[in-house]
Chains A and B, each alone.
Chain A
Amino acid sequence: MDKFLIPRGLQRTSFGAFLLWLIPWTALLSLGLYAIYLCLAEGLFHTNMDNRFAFGIWIFLDLTVIALGAGAFFTGFLLYILRRKELKAVINSAVVIGLICYSGAVLVLMVDVGQPLRAWFTFWHPNTHSMLTEVTFCLTCYLIVLLIEYIPIVLKNRQLRQIPKFLVFEFELHKLMPVLAGIGTFLSFFHQGSLGGLFGVLRGRPFAFREELGIWPSTFFLFVISAAAAGPSFIMLTTWLVEKITRKNLVKPEVYKFLGKVSGIMLIAYVLLKSIDTLIWINSTSPGNGFPAFEFYATQSFGSWILFTEIVTFGLLPALVLLSSRLREQRRFLFGAGFLVCCGIMLNRFVMTIQTLALPTLPFDDFLTYSPSWEEVATFLFVVAYGMILYSVTFRYATLFPQEKELNQLNGELSMQEFARTGKTTSFWQPKFVTQLRNKFASSKL
């Protein structure tokens, strides 16, 4: 039914099966939409946040998806600025994932502020001394950049490219991609950093407060490096997941290994800096503020195990795996390590938002507990559903993985090469048609 929209040479499931796949996501999307309506129309009392617990699941997951979406800027930086051509195989997918992550995060933020129609205020009257102002400006600009980067992917659709103006615009825009990649890198550096920085400047929260390096607290740099480490791993995992769901080979193994290596290098740098930062905090910053660091881990929920898990289990361990070329060869280690990296970034953002707010800072404070309301969960599920739908539709109607066509043909070619070498075809794919023609004309002198 929609064959005319599917890129030539790519196999996709039937239209009916595709609609069936979209049904649960659409249901989830509707539920999320209802939750968003409740929060916007009736008020934020639908959430379990209050004046003391102002950052809940929304901010925690926002920070997580923004870090995971960093694959878009980091892949763009490596491809267009450092000219690592092998990443051409995943750049489109990285852009779509980045777009989903950032647009989803901005959408949730709009619900979180409760009065989205007044969002313009932060642009028109910016508080230039606030880390959040920097985040707002950079997020908005980067979302525009991602939307522009998404345009060429859409315009290359089989039908849209028939319109010469669209194809030429796509070509010309693509030539300017290094400019957009440069801007994206600049913006991402600052908003990823400022998202970390805003916790580091919280003097009233000694658990998060860090010493400054220049004008930024150390968390600024830790957030940038951790996002750069998690982004490539997330691209690797999502691509693998799409391969599993669609039962297709989408990228060559070398691409996975390269992404794993990049992630490993960034992660080991992060683990090293995080360890130094933690030691300084334990021995100097925290006691200097009147709080021995061990007190923060005295509560049952957030024991010191959480610090160990974050730095060793989700940091050092996957970093060592990803840095070993022998282990990267094995898919279970490669993807297992990538999964741990993504878990690590999630745990780090959880610690920075939820644990920071839960811990008491004044003598009369209690340990705060918080569990999200169903509206908060459903709002975030809206983002997940929206992401799945956008990614699925783009995967179906655009070329997300340029190597897919080639890899689809590989089986046939391999069997032909085998035939040329041995005169026999033993692969499952039997090119009988060509074989018989070869045999028929083998005796004729060409």
Chain B
Amino acid sequence: MLPWVYEFHWTPFHVIFLLIFFSIFVTIVATVIVAMRRTKMAEVLQKTEAIQWHSDFEDLPPSMKTCRHELSGDVKHRVCDHEFDCRSCTQHPVLSKRQTKAPMLQFEVYGFTMPPYRLYHRGHTWVQREDDGTFKVGIDDFGTRIIGKPYSIELPPVGSRLSVNGKGMLVKKPNTNIRILSPIDGEVIEHGDSEKGWYLKIKANDPEKATTHLLKGNEVPNWILREMERLQISFATSGIGVTLADGGELVPDFHRHFPKADWDSVLGQMFLEA
């Protein structure tokens, strides 16, 4: 094994065999060490949230990664490969040019209140530009109805920095903690509470490009429709079967009607958390 160990011979075969073995062993150990070092570096460089989202997005089935241009009808079929961040997508500007003028969105979309002056993120948050140039962020009507009455919401403290698709808020329910994705980059300058309402006020890093990736206009109704399908399927795959066959629209206390549902699973799927 080693030169000073009994029965070691300085023969080419012996030396080559052991050299190959040691090289392989060192490579295996080095691989693990490199992974550990990179993990530490990612923490130092605060890449953890980006990696978490990357991992969550990777685990989404292709049917849940529909490109916004498919939602708007610009293309027949396209799967998003930019983690729902159109700012880095080279195809987005090209496909956007094909778009005819986006029709004005109705206030009500399939029974949900989706004001047309707001922009929507796939993780069920809305963004509204304020007069002072800041952005107000909240959970959309669809998200609010499926969450039901939360026990508490943990909001990031004023002064903290958020990044697109990083952790924005944390909804805490019994046996369930659901992270809500941040729809924009920026610094939290104000936030609401249970009385004023759960919202965040954010000073965007780049106000001009801050909302490029968010859904608007005729993308929203198709997205909501798909989300309802997804909700129905998430119920089916959470062990309680298809129980949403009563028609109508989602009632505000929708959550309360299905106490036996695996809400952790349903909410996780709907808020894009693997």
Instruction: Decide if A and B are genuine partners.
Output: yes
Chain A positions within 8 Å of B262 at CB level: 3
Which A residues are CB-close (under 8 A) to B24?
141, 183, 186-187
From B236, which residue of chain A is reached at the shortest CB distance?
Answer: A412
Contact A8 B274 (CB under 8 A): yes
For A419-446 the 0/1 string (1 means CB < 8 A from B) is: 0000000000111111011101100111
Pick the 6 closest A-B CB pairs, nearest first.
A406-B61, A436-B247, A433-B244, A432-B245, A8-B268, A172-B38
**Most chain A CB neighbours (cut-off 10 Å) among B55, B61, B234:** B61
CB-CB < 8 A to A148: which residues of B?
28, 31-32
Cα A441 to Cα B32 with chains together (Å): 56
Query: A434 to B218, Cβ gap below 8 A?
Result: no
**Chain A residues with CB below 8 A from B47, complex form:** 168
A436 to B1, CA, bound (A): 74
Which residues in window 33-49 of B have CB below 8 A to A? 34-36, 38-39, 42-43, 47-48
Q: What total of chain A residues lie within 8 Å of the partner, measured CB to CB?
A: 64
Q: Assess the A167–B264 pair: CB atoms within 8 A.
A: no
5 more CB-based (< 8 A) A-B contacts, given A145-B28, A437-B228: A126-B1, A183-B28, A406-B62, A432-B244, A446-B221
Q: Provide the bound-state CA to CA distance between A10 and B265, in Å.
A: 9
Q: Are B61 and A437 in contact (CB under 8 A)?
A: no
Q: Which of A129, A137, A165, A171 contacts B13 (CB 8 A)?
A: A129
Provide the A182-212 mask, 1 if CB < 8 A to any CB of B, else 0: 0100110000000000000000000000000
Q: Which residues of B contact A6 (CB under 8 A)?
A: 265
CA distance A9 to B262 in the complex (A): 10
In the complex, what's the smallest C-beta–C-beta distance from A133 to chain B, in angstroms? 8
The answer for the CA separation of A9 and B268 in the assembled complex, in Å, is 9
Binds B, one of A173-181, A268-276, A370-378: A173-181
CA distance in complex: A274, B63 (Å): 46
For the complex formed, measure the closest distance between the CB of A295 and the CB atoms of chain B, giving whole angstroms.
36
Contact residue among A8, A158, A168 (Cβ-Cβ distance under 8 Å from B42): A168
What is the number of residues of chain B that contact chain A, defined by CB distance less than 8 Å?
67
Interface-located stretch among B14-22, B81-89, B156-164:
B14-22
Q: Which residues of B contact A412 (CB under 8 A)?
A: 229, 232-233, 236
Known: A402-B59, A446-B218. A437 touches B249 (CB 8 A): yes
CA distance in complex: A430, B62 (Å): 22
Residues of A123-180 at the interface with B, using a CB-CB cut-off of 8 Å, are 123-126, 128-129, 133-134, 137, 141, 144-145, 148, 156, 158, 161, 164-165, 167-173, 175-176, 179-180
Query: Inside 8 A of B229's CB, which chain A residues have their CB?
Result: 412-413, 416, 431, 434
The CA of A175 and the CA of B36, in the complex, are separated in Å by: 12
Question: Interface residues of A: mostly helix, strand, loop or mixed?
Answer: helix
Query: B274–A437 contact, CB under 8 A?
Result: no
In the assembled complex, which residues on chain B have CB atoms less than 8 Å from the CB atom of A408?
A: 233, 236-237
A437 to B1, CA, bound (A): 73
Q: Say whether chain B's binding surface is mostly helix, strand, loop, or mixed.
A: helix
Which residue of chain A lies nearest to B21 when distances are taken between CB atoms in the complex?
Answer: A137
Within 8 A of A (CB), among B124-156: none
A176 contacts B232, CB within 8 Å? no
Using A186-B24, A409-B63, A441-B111 as known contacts, say yes or no to A433 and B269 having CB atoms under 8 A apart: no
Cα of A70 to Cα of B32 in the assembled complex, Å: 23
Contact (Cβ within 8 A) A167 B269: no
Chain A residues, Cβ within 8 Å of B34: 172, 176
B7 interface contact, C-beta 8 A: yes
Complex A-B: 13 CB contacts under 8 Å:
A3-B265, A8-B273, A126-B17, A164-B48, A168-B42, A170-B55, A172-B35, A175-B35, A405-B61, A405-B237, A429-B236, A433-B228, A434-B225
Q: Answer yes or no: A11 CB below 8 A from chain B CBs.
A: yes
Alpha-carbon distance A148/B29, docked complex (angstroms): 10
In whole angstroms, how far apart are the Cα atoms of A405 and B61 in the complex? 7
- Given A399-B59, A436-B247, A444–B31 Cβ distance below 8 Å? no
Instruction: Give the chain B neighbours of A129 by CB distance below 8 A.
Output: 13
For residue A252, give the distance in angstroms from its CB to the closest CB of chain B.
Answer: 11
| Chain A residues whose CB sits within 8 angstroms of the CB of B31 once the complex forms | 148, 173, 176, 179-180
Query: In the complex, are the beta carbons of A409 and B54 less than 8 A apart?
Result: no
CA distance A281 to B273 in the complex (A): 61
Residues of B within 8 Å of A169, CB to CB, are 35-36, 39
B41 CB → nearest A CB, Å: 9
Chain A residues lying within 8 Å of B62, measured Cβ to Cβ, are: 406
Q: How far is the CA of A10 from the CA of B61 in the complex (A)?
A: 12
Q: A165 to B33, alpha carbons, bound, how many Å?
A: 14
The answer to whether A168 and B21 have CB atoms under 8 Å apart is: no
A4 on the B face (CB < 8 A): yes
The minimal Cβ–Cβ distance linking B145 to chain A, given in whole angstroms, is 13
Query: Could you say which residues of chain B place their CB within 8 Å of the CB of A433?
Result: 228, 232, 242, 244-247
Interface presence of A7 (CB below 8 A): yes
Closest to B15 in A: A128
Which of B109, B228, B264 is the one whose CB lies under 8 Å from A3? B264
A438: chain B residues at CB < 8 Å are 225
Whether the pair B239, A11 counts as a contact (CB closer than 8 A) is: yes
